[in-house]
Structure 1
Amino acid sequence: MARKEEEQRGFQGMMNRIKDSMGSGGAPDPTRRKMHFSFWYFLLALLVISWLQDQMLMQQKVQLPYSHFKQLVREGAVRNVILGPHKVKGEIVKGDLAGRFFVTVRVQDPELVHLLDQQGISYTGRLENKWLEAILSWLLPMALFIAFWSFLMRRMGGPQGVLSVGKARMKIYAEKEVGVTFDDVAGIEEAKTELGEIVEFLKNPEKFQRLGGKIPKGVLLVGAPGTGKTLLAKAVAGEAGVPFFSMSGSDFVEMFVGVGAARVRDLFAQAKQNAPCIIFIDELDALGKARGMNPVGGHDEREQTLNQLLVEMDGFEANSGVIIMAATNRPEILDPALLRPGRFDRHVAVDKPDIRGREAILKIHARHVVLEDDVDLHMVAAMTSGFVGADLANLVNEAALLAARRSKDKVGMAEFQEAIDRIIGGLEKKNRAINPKEKEIVAYHEAGHALVAMSVPHTDPVNKVSIIPRGIAALGYTQQMPTEDRYLMTRQELLSRLYVLLGGRVAEEIVFGDVSTGAQNDLQRATDIARSMVMEYGMSEKLGPVTFAREPRSPFLDTGAAPRAREFSEKTAQEIDEEISRLLDDAHEKVGRILKEKREYLERLAKDLLEKEVVEGDALRAIEKEVRNASGQAE
């Protein structure tokens, strides 16, 4: 008995689950379908069917000219004539069309009725009903207009149509959906330590409230593109185990006035309902640009959106559990009201990683890559000075793709070296047709760069010299590998860079007695260094310790903005030009002396390049050792 009751309860529970599933996403619920059924759908279908039937009947009837119709009347060949205001209908009973129905356009003919009476033909009058055609003539265009308008509103206002224009279109990640923790972030240890306090507050707010402390309301992550600002924000949410609201600064700005402000209000309202949580605004400079910078006018949609953001950030209750994080690579153009205490209290700089940071990042991205035993990630990190996290991730992926293309089971050091060359110089083009004369010029040009780098102090060791074309315009390149990361440059180090950059052009002058266009990029970079030494760094003996910088550069992004009008006299401008020319002329003269003294090594290295196309490893180190010994700089 007990077993039977248990089976009945199990069967009843299964039926209830089936009903629930059918009513909430399974098979369609019949009752719910009836609730959604509209009487207007039925009426529209009825009208369309009636109109179609009428059109089909019209196609079955014979269209007669009025004169032919009168002739049939005179012959008594019609019956059951229906006289309408505009049409005459009836049945043909004689002739070839016997048994067919006819229709003709009625003409004002007073004799028609008399003729029908004379032939004894039955007839009747009928008023034509135009309501169907009238309704359809209004209904169909209106339906098309409404459908088109609804389509436009869905495209502009999101999936909910026009009613959702003011809704914030953010991505919401639940507590377990972020999937990123501090273990997935490397190379920015100082930033991780700084944000650890935010994580601790979200996990244990009582620890700070007990002593009367207030957590920062906003955290601004600033750094160069690709350094991991967004990844770091996700890691904070993953470590704290709280919801993560993610939006871009451009998601707030719309063409409709007031929409951006409405989206800001909606975003913060939802965040307060899900507190504790994190709001992350990527590319804040799209929204938070300083007010008054718009040349058209100050009262635009973006500024209204920014004003609403300022109000929402300053209107938070104390310790509400909502943390605002934002990322930008242009902090210098943000509105000062955003950066004051009480809004974005804490600014965290996400710098480019040093050699240890790059090695740690490479280890994270290489966790799922099969590496050969000869792969030295520390060496790879040393060869990638200036790379950010995104560049290193791309480097590992490129090396894996190269190994797969070569049908290898593991990724080796050769693939990493090739991937570095490909990222820095571009795709290798071994099949490009270069005539022997141009190839010889390129060989001596690159040999000049390498030989000067080996001869002057304060330069990075030469790692590879190649005359294989790469990228769009590079016919060859000389790769130097820094031994350490540098954050300051002395005057002598900058001069040494000038010497190396001019080495290729001077080598062409000495060997061929002429110069080519291949030194264009070298001259541009050398001129930039000389101008910075004179105008920005105060390294001119004639002008003294003074800077003539027109405006501060962005520390993270080259905006390419037009410089302001100069703030010095014509005489000073002439002296600046003379100093830049003097630096370049002195460097040109010194490089000429170096290459003339070591002409034999220049010829030797150029000959090796023409034979092998690439000189590296032991062969390059042997030449470098001899050059340094000849210069009295043997290590």
Structure 2
Amino acid sequence: MRKMFKNAAFYIFVFLLILMIARQVIPTTETEIVNLTLTELVSSIEEGKVKTINLVENNSVQGTLQDDAVFYSYIPSVLSEDVGKYLFDAMTKAGLEVTGTAPAQEPWILSLLPMIFGVLILVVLWFVFMQNSQGGGNKVMSFGKSRAKMIKEDNSKRITFADVAGLKEEKEELYEVVDFLKNPKKYIELGARIPKGILLIGPPGTGKTYLSRAIAGEAGVPFFSISGSDFVEMFVGVGASRVRDLFENAKKNSPCIIFIDEIDAVGRKRGAGLGGGHDEREQTLNQLLVEMDGFSENEGIILMAATNRPDILDPALLRPGRFDREITVGRPDVREREEIIRVHARNKPVADDVDFKTLAKATPGFTPADIENLLNEAAILTARKSERKIRMRTIEEATTKVIAGVEKKSRVISEKERRLTAYHEAGHAILAAIIPEMDPVQQITIIPHGRAGGFTMQLPQEDRNYMTKRHMENELIVLLGGRVAERLILHDISTGAQNDLSRVSDIARAMVTKYAMSENLGSMSYGSEEEVFLGRDMTTRRNFSEQVAADIDREVRRLVDDAYDEAMRILSENIDKLHQVANALLEYETINGEEFSIALESGFEALREKKEHEEKQLEADRLKDIAIYEAEQNRLKAAREEAQKPADQEQANSKPKSEAESEQQTSETAQAVTTEKTEDEQH
């Protein structure tokens, strides 16, 4: 009510202000006013067009014409004496009655009205400005206020460690923080100092933010969440002010947890890059360092931060006493992926044929965010097919969509391009199947997905933490299989191998410069791993000479040429298998790992027989499902009819007695008529 009253008073004030200004500006009389020059005034007097005339002390002449129009004329001061005498003679000669009045003296308050209006407008604007500045963090006067969101969930919505799948060691590392927030006295009595700051390091989507919320939920304390970019604004001093406000709010709600996501946006190294040492980002970082030193050890405030670029953070931020502990949150392994898949499948209707272990193996390198997105895509595909449960084949389709992109069946492709793509992908697949220790083929397709014209998907049997030299050399051979198959069969090459060649170059150069896998260059790492990053080093220098650079290029070229020759040798020896797999792709466009093995070992005809058998089996299953559906519908119909019988019987028993007697009399009459008719027939 109070707010409504303030708004009404403001609008009334604005209306009155506009009304007063309009009264001063807009003339109130409807009489026509004519401005006459001195020549026109003299002519009008001589011609008798002037009715009355009035002389004013400020060298003005006013009056009315014969048609009651009001006129006005001005006599310059330089000519006032001569012209005034001449006009007076002319007016006397014309017989006009001449009057003279002093100019009207305006009240002093009227002269102050413009200034009063200006002051009132400024006061009203300031009042509105201050009212709006109290509305929230995105208002003008709230630049210095923290944008951190405080989350204090009840027990029903609280996130705990039980909701975090995987990350067993990370949760064990963080449990003592939870225990300190619950029972600080135990640690204080022993003289222990709980870490002031915990830095979570890991690639995007690994669950760093979710893990920090689980800590707050496990301890039952408030959780302040803010992004590092929220501290930095275009105005100097805003970031530092927000840092101070954040820690003040945290102290009021302690014990609590402050979580800064993407802290590298504000915590980058100082002193290098653009902006010098006095830019807004460095002031914000300085204030953050001061605040981290400011709160006491046992105050109950735990600062957590997340980043995927720990190498660019300022050393002062990482020293003991600020971020005491660094915890790496990496990509989940196969066992953790299975747990994560089960967690995200809780609220989804999953069919019985879904194998969580197989899905975990088929998603190497997936983060928890990727897995959640995968199951969501599978649910969307299931809804698109109007199915009630998420099946295994639907999840496999979603996996292909997430990895390779959307399938583009409507794209028109010439037969020449289809044949080129088929042999290209067949070259990859055959080399992956023949070369030992390579991941088995899971799927091959020549249907465009995203920007790719086709792809060969391999299914790793286990997670790899390290790569051997032999495995990397074999990977080069498999990647070059598409280009070699094009040259071998079509006697030409295409741009379809662009991504393969890029990966081949990266792997071969990394083998030489990073991993020292070249016998000629020895066990040395060449080149700097640091990237060009604003706020760190503006340029990078190579730590080797021009001669070594030429040796590196020769070694990279040798690795690639050896892999190309080996791919050519293997495919030349297995050219019949290459034709079989390519024909299978041209016929069916997409084949899975089992079908690829049949085409590779038994030939295209064996695969065709298997496909025909599967189609017959699918048709039989479809007819069986239809029969089951019809039987279920008939059963439901019979059950409804059976349930309807007691209701009909009850309705029949509830008929009135007179109606029943009438029906009985009608029946007896009909029976008598029938008997009489029978006797007549016998007679």
Whether TM exceeds 0.5 here: the answer is: yes
Give CA deviations for 1:35-94 in whole Å, capped at 9, x if unaligned: x968x985x765542442355544612122435796599678459x695848777778x6
2:72 is matched with: 104
Q: 1:87 to 1:203 in 2, by over 3 A?
A: farther
Contact 1:175/1:244 (<8 A) preserved: no
For residue 104 of structure 2, the aligned residue among 115, 120, 127 is 127
Q: Check conservation: 2:226, 2:260, Cα contact below 8 A.
A: yes
User: 2:358 aligns to what?
Assistant: 379
Task: Give the drift of 1:148.
Answer: 11
Amino acid paired to 1:483 = Q
Aligned AA for 1:499? I
Partner of 2:577: 601
Partner amino acid for 1:614? T
| 2:546 maps to amino acid | E
Match of 1:576 among 541, 552, 557: 552
Aligned to 2:406: 427
1:358-385 Cα distance to aligned partner (Å, 9 max, x none): 2222222222222222222322222111
TM-superposed CA distance for 1:469, in Å, is: 0.8
- Indicate whether 1:267 and 2:282 are aligned: no
- Pairs within 5 Å for 1:59-74: 60-66=30-36, 67=40
Q: Identity of counterpart residues, as a percentage?
A: 46
Q: 2:134 and 2:274 mapped to 1: Cα distance?
A: 27
Moved more, 363-372 or 197-206: 363-372
The residue number in structure 2 matching 1:12 is none
Give, as a single letter, the amino acid of the residue that structure 1 aligns with 2:454.
G
| CA distance, structure 2, for counterparts of residue 422 and residue 141 of structure 1 | 65
Report the counterpart of residue 338 of structure 1 in structure 2. 317
Distance 1:207 1:47, change over 3 A: closer
CA contact (8 A) 1:534 1:580 kept: yes
1:215 corresponds to which letter in structure 2? I
Q: Residue 314 of structure 2 aligns to which amino acid in structure 1?
A: D
Matched residue, 1:257: 236
| Change over 3 Å in CA distance of 1:486–1:594 after alignment to 2 | same
Paired position in structure 1 for 2:479:
501
Pick the aligned partner of 2:521 from 540, 543, 556: 543
Look up the match of 1:370. Answer: 349
Deviation at 1:257, TM superposition (A): 2.7
1-side partners of 2:455 and 2:134: how far apart?
Answer: 50
**How far apart are the structure 1 equivalents of 2:60 and 2:368?**
83
How far does the alpha carbon of each residue in 1:130-183 deviate from its partner, in whole angstroms, 9 at most, with x for none? 975874489569948995998799799965855433222221223539743323
Structure 1 residue 169 corresponds to structure 2 residue 143: no
User: Residue 614 of structure 1 corresponds to which residue in structure 2?
Assistant: 590
Kept in 1, the 8 Å contact 2:50–2:64? The answer is no
Residue type of the alignment partner of 2:104? L
The residue number in structure 1 matching 2:489 is 511
Displacement after TM superposition at 1:104 (Å):
3.0
Counterpart Cα distance in 1 of 2:536 and 2:501: 20
Segments of structure 1 that go 5 or more residues without pairing to the other structure are 1-26, 628-635
Q: CA deviation at 1:254?
A: 2.4
Residue type at the aligned position of 1:340: R
Q: Does 1:529 align with 2:507?
A: yes
Contact 1:187–1:357, Cα closer than 8 Å, also in 2:
yes
Task: Show CA shifts across 1:309-328 (max 9, x none).
Answer: 11211222121000000011
Change (3 A) 1:87 1:253: farther
Cα distance in 1 for partners of 2:450, 2:122 equals 53
1:86-139 deviation line (CA, Å, top 9, x unaligned):
8777778x65x5xxx746344466367885996457764442649758744895
The size of the alignment, in residue pairs, is 587
Q: Give the CA deviation at 1:496.
A: 1.5
2:166 aligned residue: 187
User: 2:210 aligns to what?
Assistant: 231
**In 2: Cα distance, 1:441 partner to 1:160 partner:** 57
Contact 2:441 2:593 in 1 (8 A): no
Whether the 8 Å contact between 1:73 and 1:119 is mirrored in structure 2 is: no
CA distance in 1, matches of 2:567, 2:332: 34
Letter of the 1:104 partner, please give it: Y
TM-score, with length taken from structure 2: 0.77
After TM superposition, the structure 1 stretch with the greater mean CA deviation from structure 2, 579-588 or 364-373, is 364-373
Q: Partners of 1:501 and 1:385 in 2: how far apart?
A: 19
**Bigger Rg over Cα:** 2
CA deviation after TM superposition for structure 1 residue 189, in Å: 2.4
User: CA 1:84–1:597 in structure 2 vs 1: closer, same or farther (change >3 Å)?
Assistant: farther
- Residue 492 of structure 1: how far off its partner (Å): 1.4
1:566 aligns with 2:542: yes
Q: Provide Cα deviations, 1:509-535, integer angstroms capped at 9, x if missing partner.
A: 111222111112111111211111121
Any conservation in 1 of the 2:577–2:600 contact (CA below 8 Å)? no
- SS of residue in 2 equivalent to 1:225: coil
Q: Which amino acid aligns with 1:110?
A: G
| TM-score (norm: length of structure 1) | 0.82
Give, in whole Å, the separation in 2 of the partners of 1:359 and 1:87.
Answer: 99
